[in-house]
Structure 1
């Protein structure tokens, strides 16, 4: 049914209307996670023809200067959250379509055999529940199931430093905390440490400035905004849907989530931001 709805919306002309009216003088930021190679090829072939890719740095600089004169019409920033190992396979596609992507990585997981807690065979209902309880209770539950944050597994889920170094001339790597907790469910000390320590650790590993952070799961409170600013970041990204402009709060940047879809109709609809008006699709 959803496939039919997305096809109908695409051919209704609404994505073109949104792109030419609402997105024309805004900056759209997309968030992906772990799309496969063919999905990336199809997605960026379409996006490159209908939008103008810019870097996250370019958006932040425009916000800081309150000057959009250097931003192209229908500007788009492409981001990936988590730093999954599979992102490495997308490098040829990013290079082909000249996508200056930003990948937000967890400092305590990249270049290790540690796993992402939400990829440990848990069903959606359990994951949803774990995102809503105090962080200490989430950790205790995972431990009861045999998962430890610092446990090394034979199969790596995150990018290695070798892969990051190879991708770095074409991709910007930024912070996604240390271990991907739900920050709003953390104690003050936990949240502040996850935000500041990831910046420190990544700058040491990557030997380059870390200026941006994406709140894991898009979860944040006013407290996280303060922590991010105090840690020295220039911006932070949410998953609150919508577009950005030079008047946007740099620590509450909005993103649209195509959900790594392989359905081109869904990508076209979701990248236009129609769901911000029609609600969840």
Structure 2
């Protein structure tokens, strides 16, 4: 039923109207995590044909300067969260089509064999349940079942340093915290460490200019924004649904999530923001 619904919406022409009306004078930011190269190529080509792709840094300059000339009509930004190892396979496609992309890295997981906690023993743990726990209680529970953030496994889940350095010639690398916790579930000391240390590590070990933070899971409060400001970040990205403009709060930038789908219909509908509009009217 879900697939049928997306196909109906796709062929209805409504995504085209969304681009024409709602996205024309706004900036759309997409968030990916992990997609196959074949899917990426098709989706990136579609995006180039139907939107004007710009970099996150260009948008941040426009916000800071209030210069509308930096933002074309139907502007769209592509981002990836986590820095998963499979993202390296997308580099030839990004180079081939000259696609501006930002990847948000977990500096405590990249270049190690450490694993993402939310991908560990999925049959045993429900992520929705774990995200409701305090960070301390989550770590205690997961340690009882063999997982600690510093544990080195047999194979990596994140990009290594050589891959990151090679990709950084074509891709903007930014911050996604150290171990990817749910920040509002952390105490002040841990939240401060996660936000500050990721920036510090990426700047010191990779010589990157880090000015943007993507909140893990999109979870944040005013506390996290204040910590980010004090740490020297110029922007934060959420997964609050909607579009952006040069009037947007740079510390609460909205993103749309295609959910790493390989369905053309679902991707087009979600990229247009149509599904968010329909959910709004349904409520």
Instruction: Give the TM interval when normalised to the shorter protein.
Output: over 0.9
**Alignment correspondent of 2:41:** 41
State the 1:135 CA deviation.
0.3
**Alignment correspondent of 2:150:** 150
Deviating above 2 A after TM superposition, structure 1's stretches of 4 or more consecutive aligned residues are none
State the 1:65 CA deviation.
1.1
1:111-144 deviations in Å (ceiling 9; x for gaps): 0010000111224971101101100001011101
**Alignment correspondent of 2:188:** 188
State the 1:278 CA deviation.
1.0
CA distance in 1, matches of 2:78, 2:250: 16
TM superposition score normalised by structure 1: 0.98
CA distance in 2, matches of 1:218, 1:146: 26
CA distance in 2, matches of 1:79, 1:135: 26
1:150-196 deviations in Å (ceiling 9; x for gaps): 01111110000100111111101100000000001011111111001
State the 1:83 CA deviation.
0.4
State the 1:276 CA deviation.
2.1
CA distance in 1, matches of 2:21, 2:98: 25
Say if 2:173 and 2:208, in contact at 8 Å, map to a contact too. no
- Map 1:82-93; keep pairs closer than 5 Å: 82-93=82-93
CA distance in 1, matches of 2:65, 2:165: 31
**Alignment correspondent of 2:232:** 232
CA distance in 1, matches of 2:91, 2:21: 32
CA distance in 2, matches of 1:215, 1:175: 9
Per mean C-alpha deviation after superposition, the further-off stretch among 106-115 and 62-71 is: 62-71
- Seen in structure 2, the aligned counterparts of structure 1 residues 125 and 14 have a Cα distance that, compared at 3 Å, is farther
Unaligned runs of 5+ residues in structure 2 are: none
Q: SS of the residue aligned with 1:279? A: helix
State the 1:145 CA deviation.
0.8
**Alignment correspondent of 2:265:** 265
Q: SS of the residue aligned with 1:256? A: coil
Q: How well do the aligned residues superpose, as a CA RMSD in angstroms?
A: 1.3
Q: SS of the residue aligned with 1:157? A: coil
Q: SS of the residue aligned with 2:154? A: coil
Matched, 1:13 2:32: no
CA distance in 2, matches of 1:25, 1:121: 44
**Alignment correspondent of 2:27:** 27
Q: SS of the residue aligned with 2:121? A: coil
1:62-101 deviations in Å (ceiling 9; x for gaps): 1111221121111110000000000000011111222110
CA distance in 1, matches of 2:2, 2:223: 37
State the 1:275 CA deviation.
2.1
State the 1:208 CA deviation.
2.1
CA distance in 2, matches of 1:82, 1:147: 18
Alignment length (residue pairs): 281
Say if 2:59 and 2:70, in contact at 8 Å, map to a contact too. no
CA distance in 2, matches of 1:147, 1:124: 12
TM superposition score normalised by structure 2: 0.97
Q: SS of the residue aligned with 1:9? A: helix
**Alignment correspondent of 1:162:** 162
